[in-house]
C-alpha cells in the first residue's frame, strides 16, 4: 500500500509539474534571462545571413536608466513559456524597430515629438529608437550629453543611413562617414566648426528645394574660412566658385589637401572637378557641358592618353580661362586638338561636305566630335556596324535604304569585305555625290569589275575594257544595279578648270545674287527648266565662263542609290538606256558650296535639241539623247535621193520621142 501511495504521489507530482504553467514555475527576472544571455558567445543567425549577438552585460544593464526594469518590460513577446524557441528575425534593424515600439509604452509619443528634428524621426519611425539610443545600456541623456564629444553627439545619429526627401523628390543622404572626415584636411574639426548653427541643444531644420540648392547653400560654409580674397588667387577656380558649389568638386566631408590633389596621377587631377556636372557658358548663351566621364575615356581609343596630351595648354598649375562665341566656334577650335595627331584625317575633313556645311552655319553638320564624340572616341575601323550606326544618327533615311541592299545583307552576315557608309563615301573626305565619282568607290572593292562587265559589255570586233569605261564614265553603277526610275543629270561645269561650277561662282559670273540664279534659270517660274530656258541661260553664262553641261545617267532619287540589288536582278539590256522611249526624267544640278547641289527638273526635249551639241558637247546616249532634227534631215535626204532618179527617169521617158527622132534622123 505504501508503495502504491508513493508511486501515485510521484506520478501526480510529475503530472503537476508537466501541466503547471512555466511562468509560475520560473520567475522572469533579469537574472533568469542572464542565465543564458550572459554567455558571450550566445548568438543567432539572422535571415539576412548576419549574426546577432545575444549577449547582455548584466552589470552594465543594471547601471543603465532601465536597470530596474524586468527584461519582459521591453521584450513583451518573450516569456519563458515560448522561450527559448526558434524565432525568425530578418535583420538587426528589423529587430530594433520591433523592440523600439515598446519604448513608446513608457515614453509618450507627445513628449518625443516636441524637439522638431526628433519628432520627425519618431514620426517616420526610421531610424528606430534603439538605432540611435542603443538598447540595454542607455544612460541618462543629461549625463550623456555632458560627457560625449560634439562630433560623437552628432554621429550618434548621422552615422546611420539617414536621409531626407527633398521637394524635388531627390533623396539627400545625411549619413556622415567619420573615417572620411578623419582622412580629410578637416580631420581635427568638430562638426560644429562648420555646422555652427547646430549644437547639442540646437538642431535647426532647413528646407532645400533640391540638391543643387543644398550644395550651393552649404558651400557658403566653406567661404567662412576660404575667403573671396584667397580664392581670387586662382582665377579659373574663382570663376568656378561663381557657378559651381564647393561641394561638387571637393566633396563635403572628404575634402582632400590641395597639394595632394595636384600631385594626383594622370587624369585624376583633372577629373577631380571635371567628373562633376560642370558646364561653361558661350557668348551666345549656349551652355556646353565640360563634364568628363572617366568610364568614357577608359572605353575609348584614347584610354592610354593623358588629359594634357590633348588639352596641351592645361596642367596641374595652368588652367587658362577661355571664351568662345558659340558651341560651333568651340568645336571648330577643338578640331585643332585632333589635328595634333590626326593631320591627314583633319585635312581630308576640311575639304568635305561636312566641313563646308558647318562653315556655312549648319550647326547640325558633322565635325570630329559629332562623329567621334568628345571623350568616348570609339575604335571605328574595326567595327563596321559601328560606322554605319554613327552615320545613321543623322542619315536615318539613307540607312533605311541601305538596309535593303545586298551590301547590308553582307554586313549583317559579318562578311569581311562588306561595305559600310565610309567604304563608298569615305570617312573624312565625304563629298557631295555628284562630284564624288562614286563609281570609283565601287571599283575599290569590286576590283576585277571591268573584266567582269567586259564579258558581255563590249563592242565587236575587239573586246576592250575601254568600252566598259565609256559606260562607267557616263552612268552611275546604281543606274543598272537598282531597278528604279532613272534620270539624265546635267551638271554645270567649268570646262577650263574641269570642275563643277558652284551656284556662287555662277552668280558672281552673271553679276547676280545667289538666290537669283534659280530665277535666271526658270524664267517662267513653273518649277521646270524648259529647253529654251536652258539655252538662254547657257548663252548668258558662256559669255562669262567657259561653261558646259556634263551629263550622266543616274537614279532619280539619290537615296535609291543605296539599294544595290543582287547581281541576278541587274539591268543588262542595252535598250534600257539606248532607246528613244526611255521615259528618263531630266535633272539639272548646280553645285553649292558646302551643301548638296541644287536640283532642277529639266525638260528632256533639251537633250534632243541641236543646241545641246555645243552645250552638252561630251555626253551622248545613243537613242536617248539623239538630235531629232537630224532624223528629219535623213528623211528629206532619202526622199531627195529617190526623187532625183524618179524625176530624171520621168524626164527621160518624156524626152524619149526626141531621142528616137534624132536617131531616126541620122
Partner 1 sequence: MKKIYLHPLPVRIWHWINALGFIILIITGAQIRFVDQLGLMSFETAVQIHSWLGFILLANYCIWLFYYLFTGKLFKIYIPPFWKPIDFTKRALRQAKYYGYGIMIGDKNPHHSTPDNKFNPMQQVSYLMIMVALIPLQIITGLMLWDPQLFSSLINIIGGIQIATLIHTGLWIFFSAFIIVHFYLATLGHTPMAHIVAMFTGYEEEHDEH
* Residues composing the chain: 666
Give the whole-angstrom CA distance, residue 126 versus residue 110.
17
- Phi, psi angles (nearest 5°) of residue 630: -70, -30
Partner residues linked to 287 by β-bridges? 281
By the rule CB under 8 A, 648 interacts with partner 1: yes
The answer to whether 470 contacts partner 1 (rule: CB under 8 A) is yes
The grid cell for 357 is 556645311
617 binds partner 1 (CB under 8 A): yes
491 binds partner 1 (CB under 8 A): no
Q: By CB under 8 A, which span of 57-65, 125-133, 198-206, 616-624 interacts with partner 1?
A: 616-624
* Cell output for 601: 527638273
Residue among 144 and 620 whose Cβ is closer to partner 1: 620
Which member of 341, 464, 519, 566 binds partner 1 (CB under 8 A)?
A: 464
Asked whether the CA dihedral 564, 565, 568, 570 is positive or negative, the reply is: negative
Is 91 in a helix, a strand, or coil? coil
How far apart are CB 463 and partner 1 at their closest, in Å? 11
Q: How far is the C-alpha of 282 from the C-alpha of 288, rounded, in Å?
A: 7
Q: Single out the residue of 9, 14, 379, 634 in contact with partner 1 (rule: CB under 8 A).
A: 634
- Burial (CB < 10 A; 0-12, 13-18, 19+), residue 16, is exposed
The nearest distance, CB 636 to partner 1, in angstroms, is 8
Binding piece for partner 1, criterion CB under 8 A, among 282-290, 346-354, 560-568, 658-666:
658-666
Contacts of 93 (CB under 8 A, 6+ apart): 128, 131
- C-beta of 116 vs 652, nearer to partner 1: 652
Classified as helix, coil or strand, 53 is strand
Find the helix or strand (DSSP H, E) in which 162 lies.
none
List the interface residues with partner 1, window 586-615 (CB under 8 A). Answer: 612-614
Q: Binding residue for partner 1 (CB under 8 A) from 86, 320, 461, 511? A: 461
Q: Which stretch binds partner 1 (CB under 8 A): 13-21, 354-362, 419-427, 464-472?
A: 464-472
> Should residue 176 be labelled a site residue for partner 1 when binding is judged by CB under 8 A?
no
Q: Does 11 bind partner 1 (CB under 8 A)?
A: no
Residue among 18 and 635 whose Cβ is closer to partner 1: 635
Binding mask 90-129 for partner 1 (x = CB under 8 A): ----------------------------------------
Nearest-approach distance from CB 661 to partner 1, in angstroms: 9
201: Cβ–Cβ under 8 A, 6 or more apart, which residues? none
Q: Which is nearer to partner 1, 117 or 613 (CB)?
A: 613
Tell me whether residue 316 or residue 649 sits nearer to partner 1 (CB atom): 649
Tell the residue number behind the cell numbers 566658385, with chain if given: 241
SS3 string of 29-40?
Answer: CHHHHHHHHCCC
**Is residue 9 a contact point for partner 1 (CB under 8 A)?**
no
Residue 346 CB, nearest approach to partner 1 (Å) = 36
Q: What DSSP line would sit under 536-600, residue for residue? A: HHHHHHHTTS-EEEEEEEEESSGGGGG-PPPGGGS---GGGTSSTT---EEEEEEEETTEEEEEE
Would you list the DSSP string of 241-270? HHHS-HHHHH-SS-PPPHHHHHT--TTHHH
Rounded (to 5) percent helix, strand, coil in the chain: 50, 10, 45
Q: Which is nearer to partner 1, 1 or 654 (CB)?
A: 654
Please identify which residue in 13, 104, 316, 638 interacts with partner 1, judged by CB under 8 A: 638
CA end-to-end span of the chain: 199
Stretch touching partner 1 by CB under 8 A, among 112-120, 188-196, 266-274, 642-650: 642-650
Size of residue set near partner 1 by CB under 8 A: 48
Distance CA 115, CA 490 (A): 87
Nearest to partner 1 of 11, 649 (CB atom): 649
| Least separation in angstroms between CB 598 and partner 1 | 25
Which residue, 227 or 466, has its beta carbon nearer to partner 1?
466
Quick check: 641 binds partner 1 (CB under 8 A)? yes
Helix (H) or strand (E) holding 19: helix 2-19
| Site map 542..581 versus partner 1, x via CB under 8 A | --------------------------------xx--xxxx
- Please report whether residue 640 would count as binding partner 1 according to CB under 8 A: yes
> Interface with partner 1 includes 144 (CB under 8 A)?
no
Smallest gap from residue 666 Cβ to partner 1 (A): 10
Nearest distance, CB of residue 648 and partner 1, angstroms:
7
Does 655 participate in binding partner 1 (rule CB under 8 A)? Answer: yes
Compute the distance between CA of residue 304 and CA of residue 383 in angstroms, rounded to an integer: 20
Query: Nearer Cβ to partner 1, position 290 or 575?
Result: 575
Separation between Cα atoms, residue 590 and residue 602, nearest integer Å: 12
Residue 616 touching partner 1 (CB under 8 A): yes
- Pick from 22, 220, 227, 466 the residue near partner 1 by CB under 8 A: 466
Region near partner 1 per CB under 8 A, out of 29-37, 147-155, 382-390, 469-477: 469-477
CA-nearest of 402, 335, 418 to 372 is 335
Indicate whether 631 belongs to the interface with partner 1 (CB under 8 A): yes
Cα-Cα-Cα-Cα dihedral sign, residues 476, 478, 481, 482: negative
Judged by CB under 8 A, does residue 650 bind partner 1? no
Q: Does 644 bind partner 1 (CB under 8 A)?
A: yes
Q: Which residues contact 319 (CB under 8 A, 6 or more apart)?
A: 234, 236, 237
Nearest CB to partner 1, comparing residues 390 and 549? 549
Does position 623 interact with partner 1 (CB under 8 A)? The reply is: yes
Burial class (CB in 10 A: 0-12, 13-18, 19+), 538: buried
**Dist. CA 342–CA 625, nearest whole Å:** 47
Kindly state the cell numbers that stand for 392: 545613321
Stretch that binds partner 1, among 117-125, 158-166, 215-223, 655-663 (CB under 8 A): 655-663
Q: Between 5 and 654, name the residue whose CB sits nearer to partner 1.
A: 654
Q: Does 494 bind partner 1 (CB under 8 A)?
A: no
**Interacting residues of 20 by C-beta distance below 8 A, sequence separation 6+:** none
Q: Which of 607, 611, 604 is nearest to 585 (CA)?
A: 604
Among the listed ranges 148-156, 224-232, 321-329, 453-461, the one in contact with partner 1 (CB under 8 A) is 453-461
Interaction with partner 1 in 16-35: which residues (CB under 8 A)? none
Residue ranges binding partner 1 (CB under 8 A): 459-461, 464, 466-467, 469-470, 473, 574-575, 578-581, 612-614, 616-620, 622-623, 626-627, 630-631, 633-634, 637-638, 640-642, 644-645, 648-649, 651-652, 654-655, 658-659, 662-663
Amino acid at each position: 500500500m505504501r508503495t502504491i501511495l508513493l508511486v501515485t504521489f510521484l506520478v501526480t507530482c510529475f503530472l503537476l509539474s508537466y501541466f503547471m504553467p512555466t511562468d509560475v514555475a520560473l520567475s522572469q527576472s533579469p537574472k533568469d534571462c542572464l542565465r543564458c544571455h550572459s554567455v558571450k558567445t550566445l548568438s543567432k543567425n539572422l535571415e539576412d545571413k548576419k549574426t546577432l549577438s545575444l549577449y547582455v552585460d548584466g552589470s552594465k544593464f543594471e547601471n543603465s536608466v532601465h536597470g530596474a526594469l524586468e527584461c519582459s518590460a521591453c521584450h513583451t513577446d518573450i516569456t519563458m513559456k515560448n522561450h527559448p524557441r526558434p524565432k525568425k528575425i530578418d535583420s538587426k534593424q528589423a529587430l530594433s524597430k520591433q523592440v523600439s515600439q515598446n519604448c513608446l509604452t513608457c515614453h509618450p509619443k507627445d513628449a518625443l515629438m516636441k524637439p522638431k528634428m526628433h519628432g520627425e524621426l519618431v514620426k517616420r519611425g526610421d531610424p528606430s529608437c534603439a538605432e540611435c539610443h542603443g538598447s540595454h545600456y542607455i544612460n541618462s541623456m543629461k549625463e550623456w550629453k555632458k560627457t560625449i564629444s560634439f562630433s560623437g553627439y552628432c554621429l550618434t545619429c548621422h552615422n546611420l543611413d539617414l536621409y531626407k526627401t527633398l521637394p524635388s523628390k531627390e533623396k539627400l543622404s545625411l549619413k556622415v562617414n567619420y573615417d572620411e572626415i578623419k582622412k580629410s584636411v578637416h580631420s581635427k574639426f568638430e562638426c560644429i566648426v562648420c555646422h555652427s548653427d547646430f549644437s547639442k541643444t540646437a538642431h535647426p531644420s532647413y528646407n532645400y528645394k533640391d540638391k543643387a540648392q543644398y550644395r550651393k547653400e552649404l558651400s557658403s560654409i566653406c567661404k567662412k574660412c576660404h575667403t573671396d580674397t584667397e580664392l581670387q588667387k586662382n582665377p579659373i577656380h574663382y570663376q568656378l566658385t561663381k557657378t559651381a558649389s564647393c561641394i561638387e568638386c571637393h566633396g563635403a566631408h572628404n575634402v582632400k589637401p590641395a597639394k595632394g590633389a595636384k600631385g594626383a596621377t594622370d587624369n585624376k587631377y583633372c577629373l577631380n572637378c571635371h567628373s562633376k556636372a560642370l558646364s561653361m557658358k558661350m557668348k551666345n548663351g549656349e551652355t556646353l557641358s565640360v563634364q568628363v566621364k572617366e568610364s568614357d575615356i577608359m572605353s575609348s581609343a584614347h584610354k592610354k592618353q593623358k588629359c594634357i596630351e590633348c588639352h596641351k595648354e592645361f596642367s596641374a598649375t595652368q588652367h587658362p580661362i577661355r571664351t568662345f562665341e558659340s558651341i560651333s566656334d568651340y568645336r571648330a577650335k577643338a578640331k585643332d586638338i585632333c589635328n595634333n595627331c590626326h593631320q591627314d584625317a583633319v585635312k581630308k575633313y576640311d575639304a568635305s561636305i561636312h566641313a563646308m556645311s558647318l562653315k556655312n552655319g549648319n550647326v547640325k553638320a558633322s565635325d570630329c566630335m559629332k562623329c567621334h564624340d568628345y571623350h568616348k572616341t570609339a575604335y571605328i575601323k574595326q567595327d563596321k556596324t559601328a560606322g554605319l550606326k554613327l552615320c545613321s544618327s543623322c542619315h536615318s533615311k539613307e540607312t533605311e535604304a541601305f538596309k535593303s541592299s545586298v551590301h547590308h545583307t553582307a554586313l549583317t552576315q559579318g562578311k569581311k569585305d562588306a561595305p559600310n557608309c565610309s567604304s563608298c563615301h569615305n570617312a573624312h573626305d565625304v563629298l557631295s555625290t555628284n562630284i564624288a565619282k562614286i563609281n570609283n568607290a565601287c571599283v575599290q572593292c569590286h576590283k576585277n569589275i571591268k573584266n567582269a562587265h567586259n564579258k558581255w559589255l563590249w563592242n565587236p570586233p575587239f573586246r576592250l575594257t575601254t568600252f566598259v569605261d565609256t559606260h562607267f564614265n557616263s552612268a552611275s553603277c546604281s543606274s543598272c544595279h537598282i531597278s528604279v526610275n532613272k534620270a539624265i543629270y546635267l551638271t554645270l561645269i567649268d570646262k577650263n578648270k574641269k570642275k563643277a561650277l558652284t551656284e556662287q561662282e555662277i552668280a558672281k559670273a552673271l553679276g547676280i545674287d545667289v538666290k537669283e540664279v534659280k530665277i535666271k534659270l526658270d524664267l517662267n517660274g513653273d518649277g521646270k527648266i524648259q529647253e529654251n530656258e536652258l539655252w538662254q541661260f547657257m548663252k548668258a553664262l558662256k559669255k562669262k565662263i567657259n561653261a558646259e553641261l556634263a551629263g550622266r545617267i543616274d537614279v532619280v532619287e539619290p537615296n535609291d542609290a543605296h539599294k544595290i540589288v543582287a547581281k541576278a536582278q541587274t539591268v543588262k539590256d542595252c535598250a534600257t538606256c539606248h532607246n528613244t522611249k526611255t521615259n528618263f526624267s531630266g535633272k539639272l544640278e548646280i553645285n553649292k558650296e558646302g551643301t548638296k547641289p541644287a536640283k532642277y527638273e529639266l525638260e528632256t526635249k533639251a537633250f534632243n535639241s541641236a543646241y545641246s551639241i555645243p552645250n552638252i558637247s561630251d555626253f551622248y546616249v545613243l537613242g536617248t539623247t539623239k538630235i531629232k532634227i537630224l532624223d528629219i534631215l535623213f528623211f528629206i535626204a532619202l526622199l531627195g535621193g529617190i526623187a532625183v532618179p524618179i524625176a530624171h527617169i520621168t524626164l527621160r521617158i518624156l524626152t524619149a520621142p526626141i531621142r528616137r527622132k534624132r536617131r531616126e534622123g541620122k
